[in-house]
Amino acid sequence: MATKKATKAGSRPASKASSARKSGVNRILVGVRIEPRLVKVMKALAELHDLALGELLERVFWNAMDGSNAFAEKGKIPNDVKQQIQNLKQVYGVNYSLSDLAK
């Protein structure tokens, strides 16, 4: 019987990391400060899409650099995804917008 390498709670299985290394993707730990309620929304959204938080951030950033949205399908964000995001923002009390961050 094969055994999986023990991982921290909430982290991705070891097999995911090894497949990333095979494709030439190398990840490092970075220190960033992010508003705590938004982190909770991002973690929950990542979990809904079966991603680690870092993978979600990578996808969002890569899509932004390409001028697209990580959650869009055929150029439009599906209503169910919009609703998931709205629900998570409400649950975790994210009551501010992007324009509020610039203040």
43-76 pLDDT tens trace = 999 999 999 999 999 999 999 999 999 989 888 9
**Is residue 17 classed as helix, strand or coil in its secondary structure?**
helix
Does the pTM exceed 0.85? no
**Is residue 60 classed as helix, strand or coil in its secondary structure?**
helix
Determine, yes or no, domain membership for 73.
Answer: yes
Determine, yes or no, domain membership for 28.
Answer: no
Determine, yes or no, domain membership for 29.
Answer: no
Determine, yes or no, domain membership for 61.
Answer: yes
Number of domains in the chain: 1
Determine, yes or no, domain membership for 41.
Answer: yes
Look up tokens 């998570």; give the residue: 88
Domain interval for residue 44:
34-94
Determine, yes or no, domain membership for 19.
Answer: no
Determine, yes or no, domain membership for 38.
Answer: yes
Determine, yes or no, domain membership for 85.
Answer: yes
